[in-house]
Amino acid sequence: MQRPLTGGRRLLHHAASRLLLPLALAFLLLLPGIESAFAHAVAEGDKGYIKEITGVHLLPFVYLGAKHMVTGYDHILFLFGVIFFLYRAKHIAIYVSLFALGHSTTMLLGVYLNVGINSYLIDAIIGLSVAYKALDNMGAFQRWLGYQPNTKAATLIFGLFHGFGLSTKILEYEISPDGLIPNLLAFNVGVELGQLTALGMILIAMGFWRRTAGFWRHAYTANVWMLTAGFVLVGYQLTGYFVS
């Protein structure tokens, strides 16, 4: 399913190690601004809209769901990692569907059943999902454990956590029970449309990159960058949890 990295691994590892510190520092500098703007938070204007409206508003909630997914950098990073070494449309569809199934299930049930998780902890787990996928792409688990964990199960499980991240925030905004189910379904449709949009952009960019000679030279480095971003997200959220 996923093609292992071949050739020049030591050279790539050396280059990746040299890039690790500056990448981590750059991400740390940018993260506070990014976190406040995106993550699982909803923009202030959207937040006020969600709190104030009652009744069924399908199109606005479709828009809000799509906007959340397209601007959710943690979702996009995870999707990027999931499809990084997937080449066949069938395989991409399977993995993205598993992620969507997990994400939709916990988002809908979490809000409907009023089940929330501390936003710092859930976002830390989401950061961990990014780091996990990067390590998986780098073949770390095969080297460390001697076998390959089930990537489909991991995609579904982490999809469940991504959905809880969103449901937790929606609960904080006290969405009206009047029209709740139709609005949530519309929001979820928007999320899936946004996911398809983000996936399309990633696949176009990956398609061009894979046709260049530099893809295999920089594949390992790209996953080291993703690993760094994931762990920085985990650290940032855990810091927020312990200080809040």
Q: pLDDT tens-digit profile of 136-148?
A: 999 999 899 888 8
Q: Which of 23-27, 114-118, 209-213 has the lowest mean pLDDT?
A: 23-27
**Which whole-number Å values give the CA distances from 71 to 66, 136, 189, 191, in the listed order?**
9, 25, 16, 11
pLDDT band at 39 (very low <50, low <70, confident <90, very high): very low
Query: What pLDDT shows up at residue 18?
Result: 47
| Domain spans in the chain, listed from the N-terminal domain onward | 57-243
Global pTM? 0.81
Mean pLDDT within 50-76? 87
